[in-house]
Structure 1
C-alpha cells in the first residue's frame, strides 16, 4: 500500500515530463526551465486557478500548470484557447513555452525575459520581475530539481 501511495505522489511529475520535453523542443526552450516556471506558478498542479484583482474587481485569470493568463487569449486565438482546453496539461505547457519563447524573441534569451513571463516588461513591474526571477532560479538551480 505504501508503494502505491508513493507512486501516486510521483505520478504527476512522470505524467507531465514529456509535456515539458515536447514543448521545449518545439519552441526551443529548456524543458527544465519550463518545469521550473510551472513549479513556481502552480506547484505543478494542472488544475491551478487564480484570479488577479484590482480594487476588488477581477481583471484577469490564470489557468493550469503554467498559469496562462487570460489576457493572452486574444493573441493565442489561433490555437483556439478557451477556459476549458487551457487546463489540458500538454496544451497548457505548450502555451507557456510559446509565451516564454516570444519573450526571448523580443527581449533576448535572458533572465529578464523569464521574469517577464510573470510580470511583463514594464518599468513599473521591474521589482516584481526581479522577485520572480529569484523564485525561478531557486527552483531551477536546486540540485534535487530535475
Structure 2
C-alpha cells in the first residue's frame, strides 16, 4: 500500500487508469466515458485550472483538475472536505467528477443530455452549450483510437 501511494504521488499520470476504473465501478459509470470527459475538460492535465468570468470580466467560478470540478460544487461536496488544495489530487478529482455525473444520471436519466449537463447544467438557456459539449464528448468517446 505504501508503494502504491508513493507511486501515485510521484507519477500521478500512471494512476489515472486505476482512478478512472475505481471511480467508474463505485458510481456505476463507464470508465471510458469518464476518460472522455477528462480528455475534453483538461486533456488529462491534473493541474488544469480555469476561471469562468461574467460579461464584466469578474470571476464567477473556478474549475480544477482532470475533471475540471467547478467551485460552485464545493458547498454540495462539503461532506468530502473538498478544497482548493485536495481537489487537484487526480484520483480524488476523478471521483468527484464521477459523483457529479452520477448525480446527473440519477436526476435526469442515463443519457447524453446528462453528460452535457456535466459542463453546462440542465437550465433551458444552456441547451446550446449542452449540445456542443455532448458533441465534443461523443467525438472522443466514439473515436476508434480512444480507449
TM-score normalised to structure 1 length = 0.91
Q: Which residue of 2 aligns with 1:88?
A: 89
Which structure 2 residues correspond to residues 63-102 of structure 1 after superposition, within 5 A? 63-102=64-103
- 1:106 is the counterpart of 2:116: no
- CA distances 1:8-63 after superposition (whole Å, capped 9, x unpaired): xxx76543000000000001111100000000000000000000000110000000
Contact 1:36-1:139 within 8 A present in 2 as well? yes
- Structure 2 residue runs without a partner (length 5+): 1-10
- 1:139 is the counterpart of 2:123: no
- Structure 1 residue runs without a partner (length 5+): 1-10
Q: Secondary structure, in 3 states, of the residue corresponding to 2:44?
A: coil
Aligned length: 136
| Aligned equivalents of 1:79, 1:14: Cα separation in 2 | 24
- 1:28 is the counterpart of 2:28: yes
Contact 1:115-1:130 within 8 A present in 2 as well? yes
| Aligned equivalents of 1:12, 1:82: Cα separation in 2 | 19
Contact 2:100-2:118 within 8 A present in 1 as well? yes
Contact 1:45-1:65 within 8 A present in 2 as well? yes
Q: Which residue of 1 aligns with 2:129?
A: 128
TM-score normalised to structure 2 length = 0.90
| Aligned equivalents of 1:138, 1:15: Cα separation in 2 | 24
Q: Secondary structure, in 3 states, of the residue corresponding to 2:59?
A: strand
Contact 1:12-1:44 within 8 A present in 2 as well? no
RMSD of equivalent CA atoms: 1.0
Contact 2:15-2:91 within 8 A present in 1 as well? no
